[in-house]
Structure 1
Amino acid sequence: MKALSLIKNIFTLSLLLLFMTACNEDFLELEPTDSISEGKVFESYTIAEAALVGAYDQLSNPSFEGLYVPIMADIIGEDVMINAVDNWNWFVPVYQMNVLPNYTYVNSPWWAGYKLIYDVNKLIKNVQKIPDATADQKNRLEGEARALRAFVMLKLAQIYSPAYSKDNTAPSILLVTDILEADDDDIGRSTLKEVYEQIENDLLTAISLLEEKKDKGFVDQRAAKAMLARTYLDMENWQKARDMAKEAYEGLELMSISEMYSGFSTRNSETIFTIAYTQEDNNVYLSLPSFYWPVGGYSSMRANDQFVDLFNYQDARGGFFLQQDDIDAERFLILKFGHNNVVGNAERISIRASEMYLIEAECEAELGNYTAAQEALYQIQQRSYPGVQKSKATDEQLVNEILLERRKELFGEGFRWNDIKRRQQSFSRGGDHWVTFNYSPADADYYRLTFPIPQSEIDANKMIDLNDQNEGY
């Protein structure tokens, strides 16, 4: 993995090295400072804490959770799309599902993810040695660092690996848990089973080290449980996924309709983990609201007409869609993700309770606990559609209803790509999509649901060659 040395020659906080103030639990007050040498990072708790904030800041990188990952995770699907015109060519090859190993959409998330993993590996190795930190402080730093590593590894595995449920012995990502320097030996791809075992181990350790916090801009015990619920869902470990999801949403109130209409730009009653910004620390035009909101930014995301038709006219979530002649008369604008006063300024709500209810519902249905599954599904449906009747379906019909509800509730939040792949669903685009597809897992084109390993990694890594590339590339 020699190419990684380009981004890890020294342990610097390359975006900003940020200090946290402990006086405000509800908002990140971040003060930028100069880079600090590796030798000094772990000389004090204050500096190590700032290094951890720097790791969080990297999540908001446009190449990762700040833009690329959530956008790509929905346009590789059938419900939302990039506008065909006036889009400055953003994400077009991704929407067309025609990426190559040297494309920026393939390279950028890989390197952004591994840069963050490298930095948190430094924290995991050194935090227990900080001389002036208490045991609780050391545990918190390690727990959050482990959860961040697991979060990033799960995202990378979902992007660059086939489905766990299809073949957990298949090659996955590089399992980097040590601090690899430029002269260290390269490592090859690990199996999906090995990667998910590491993710599980990190999150179980994080849960044991963390407590719940008021500030959802940081990973706490509840967020680590939610991440583990996602992990077990991919693994189809239905019982453990259900249990973690229930623990993750326990005590939280689902957001109201008015909160839903507020633009998903600030944390709310059901927020479990949010990637926090300040007005000075956002991606401006390279941000989720810039691409979604009809004015102020790129404003290039559209909803497929067949997807809009899935919403009952009494479902309040139908209010997220708008046809406006003076903006785009042909397709539906999406009003789900708004700006907060300034272009691009909005928190990226990465995990919320509604997702956990839907994980519970899917798992209960798969376990044959249909009444419990119907009730969890109803909790989501009746919030936006008070007159809805509770489902009476069972077996595959109930599972399909729950998967449909995931599409309706979570669209634009970065789930559809992985949901299609992990469930090995057929993939069909129609209606007003300007690029259509229709194929099943048995068809050759299904490989498109997995990104290739970046050519830059293959070129630099002696343990990987073209024979190790993903199918189809």
Structure 2
Amino acid sequence: MFNRIKQALLLVLTIAITSCEKDFLETTPTDAISATDALSSAENMQLILNGLHRGLFSQSQTIFPGGNTARAGNHYWIPLGDNLAGGVIHSARANNLSWQDETQWISHTDQTALTPEILWYHRYNTIASANAIINKATDGSLVMDENLNAIVGQAYTYRAYSYLSLVQHFAKGYLIGSPSTDPGVPLLFGTEEGFNSAPRSTVEEVYAQMESDINTAIEYFENGTPRPSGGPETKSQLNIDVANGLKARIALSKGDWQTAADAAVAARQDYPIMSEADWKSGFNTTSLPEVIWGSNVIDTETTFFRSYFYLICNTFNGSQNRNNPKLVDRRLYNQIPDTDYRKDVFLADAPNTNTSAANGEGGFGNDPNYTDEALFDAKEAEYRSQYGWTTRHNSHPYMQVKFLQKNPGTIDPDDIIYMRSSEMYLIEAEAKLMMGDIAGAQTALEPLGTARDSAYDVSVYNTAESLMDHIKFQRGVELYGEGFLYTDKIRWDDGIDHAADGGSGASEVLYQAGFRQDPPSVNDAWIFKIPQREIDANPNIGPGDQN
């Protein structure tokens, strides 16, 4: 791996500088750019960060050697969390980008598959670039002013973010395992020629490093220039709020409840809860008021059929969605009160127009919801006109329209949202409940619940069990499709059973192994396999280290 990371670091430096700084090119030929030049000033380090921002959503082959056109960073990794855990339901067969392999629990359990390999290398590439900034900026050779403080804060935040992603996928969950002895992932600090990976650190050691990194990031941000305000592109830059949000996630995942609650409150202060109009606008831009952090996707990046919205959005003009509308779990939908406007983005009465639908109810005559063909056709036309999918798109009962393109029916990519203030209310509520503070958890939930449901009454959830069930419900509805369910289930030690409690609407024939999975505490299939190429190349990790 680490030879590839060394090459990747230089490529990130080159991409960042050649794509962002014309003046630099006027004095430095593109084939002569070195890490020394790129790290020579705060301005050039900011260009490296811009390369990392871009790397979160670019097709991976544009960022480091050995990448693959089938993965475009977080366009893939974010919805994967709901795809693996069964929160976003597939309605028909469609195996583009191995997306259905993920649903069937094939890819992440295969050490030769693209999914674990590219995730591993993407996150370690990000760590190596962050290390380059941290090591140079803190060696005493540069003046540490407010601008450089903000840059170093971003680098430490990126490193913590990457380690959290790695340890949550490639190791057993902190709360369900034995973190002091469970193998985690290698910790990487160097960028110099000839460095090698360390062996796998324990889960506890990785968490200690993340906590140190995120606390250090916050200290640098406190003495740094604030993030610019303005258009959606500013939300791509990391700031103290992003760092506090990550601190809350780290603490929640390890059961450090007080830290999780405090950091969540700090992170959300300047991001008001969205209105109904904003919430129903499509989740396609980071300019939404709740968004703390996200990628402002550049149209010229040409992700198109590799984009988040290709995988999740039912208006995107690609075969993944035309043939396979994505649905909400019916059990979750049935819990949503009619007074909660979030219910409106799940179309329970959409006609089943796909004759190849996995439930065998596609086409008029098979759809049990319609006995009148004219009504069947009229409803399909109504929704197509309202939401903008094309005549080639199929519809299906319980399909979601939470995610809508700015230009529906096209292949235009849209922004990726990573962190919202609503998540922070939910983190605080869960953390307070886990500390036994039912009243505090209710108070934390009330602003969000009241904003979404005109008849909301949090007082009815007055036991630990009922309140925990309600928090799970709120996370399921509020954060649907935003990628949290995989790590939520690991933290809660919940398995997958699409047949339980009346059924999710998923087909066992279609879902195969993904239809039922035992809880992660007794089921190591939740842990991603370490890429075989890493085991083959890294002298410190052998076959016996495989998950």
Q: Same fold (TM over 0.5)?
A: yes
Counterpart CA distance in 2 for 1:208 and 1:5 is 28
1:118-148 superposed Cα distances (whole Å, 9 cap, x missing partner): 1111111112469776511221111101101
Q: CA deviation at 1:87?
A: 4.3
Per the alignment, residue 43 of structure 2 pairs with 46
1:427-463 superposed Cα distances (whole Å, 9 cap, x missing partner): 222332122634443885x222111111111111111
Q: Of the candidates 428, 433, 441, which is equivalent to residue 365 of structure 1?
A: 433
Counterpart CA distance in 2 for 1:59 and 1:154 is 15
Please say if 1:308 is aligned against 2:381: no
Q: CA deviation at 1:2?
A: 4.3
Counterpart CA distance in 1 for 2:238 and 2:423 is 17
Per the alignment, residue 424 of structure 2 pairs with 356
Q: Of the candidates 251, 272, 297, which is equivalent to residue 277 of structure 1?
A: 297
Please say if 1:66 is aligned against 2:66: no
1:267-305 superposed Cα distances (whole Å, 9 cap, x missing partner): 211111111223323522211112222232332433233
Contact 2:498 2:506 in 1 (8 A): yes
Match runs of 1:8-47 below 5 Å? 8=8, 10=10, 12-13=12-13, 15-17=15-17, 18-19=19-20, 34=30, 36-47=33-44
Contact 2:197 2:540 in 1 (8 A): yes
Distance 1:179 1:281, change over 3 A: same
Count of residues in Structure 1 that have an aligned counterpart in Structure 2 = 457
Per the alignment, residue 259 of structure 2 pairs with 240
Q: CA deviation at 1:178?
A: 1.8
Counterpart CA distance in 2 for 1:131 and 1:277 is 35
Letter in 1 for 2:422: S
Letter in 2 for 1:44: S
Please say if 1:412 is aligned against 2:481: yes
Q: Of the candidates 181, 191, 202, which is equivalent to residue 191 of structure 1?
A: 202
Distance 1:42 1:269, change over 3 A: same
Contact 2:86 2:103 in 1 (8 A): no
Match runs of 1:284-433 below 5 Å? 284-295=304-315, 296-297=317-318, 298-299=320-321, 300=324, 301-322=326-347, 323-326=350-353, 327-341=393-407, 343-392=411-460, 393-430=462-499, 431=503, 432-433=505-506
Q: CA deviation at 1:38?
A: 1.2
Contact 1:101 1:452 in 2 (8 A): yes
Q: Of the candidates 117, 132, 145, which is equivalent to residue 127 of structure 2?
A: 117
Contact 1:12 1:38 in 2 (8 A): no
Does 65-74 or 153-162 show the bigger shift?
65-74
TM-score between both structures, scaled by the size of structure 2: 0.78
Q: What is the aligned-residue RMSD (CA, Å)? A: 2.5
Does 378-387 or 428-437 show the bigger shift?
428-437
Q: CA deviation at 1:164?
A: 0.5
Counterpart CA distance in 2 for 1:40 and 1:48 is 10
Residue segments in structure 2 that go unaligned for 5+ positions in a row: 23-28, 60-70, 354-392
Residue segments in structure 1 that go unaligned for 5+ positions in a row: 22-32
Q: CA deviation at 1:14?
A: 5.9
Counterpart CA distance in 2 for 1:321 and 1:384 is 15
Match runs of 1:83-98 below 5 Å? 83-88=91-96, 90-98=98-106
Counterpart CA distance in 1 for 2:473 and 2:248 is 19
Residue 305 of structure 2 aligns to a residue whose secondary structure is coil
Q: Of the candidates 242, 247, 250, which is equivalent to residue 231 of structure 1?
A: 250
Contact 1:74 1:80 in 2 (8 A): yes
1:239-265 superposed Cα distances (whole Å, 9 cap, x missing partner): 110000011112431011100111111
Per the alignment, residue 375 of structure 2 pairs with none
Counterpart CA distance in 2 for 1:184 and 1:61 is 27
Distance 1:451 1:365, change over 3 A: same
Per the alignment, residue 441 of structure 1 pairs with 519
Q: CA deviation at 1:5?
A: 4.7
Per the alignment, residue 141 of structure 1 pairs with 151
Q: Of the candidates 265, 274, 290, which is equivalent to residue 255 of structure 1?
A: 274
Counterpart CA distance in 1 for 2:455 and 2:73 is 36
Distance 1:200 1:20, change over 3 A: farther
Percent of pairs identical after alignment?
26
Distance 1:115 1:144, change over 3 A: same
Name whichever structure is richer in helix by fraction: 2
Counterpart CA distance in 1 for 2:262 and 2:157 is 18
Contact 1:68 1:105 in 2 (8 A): no
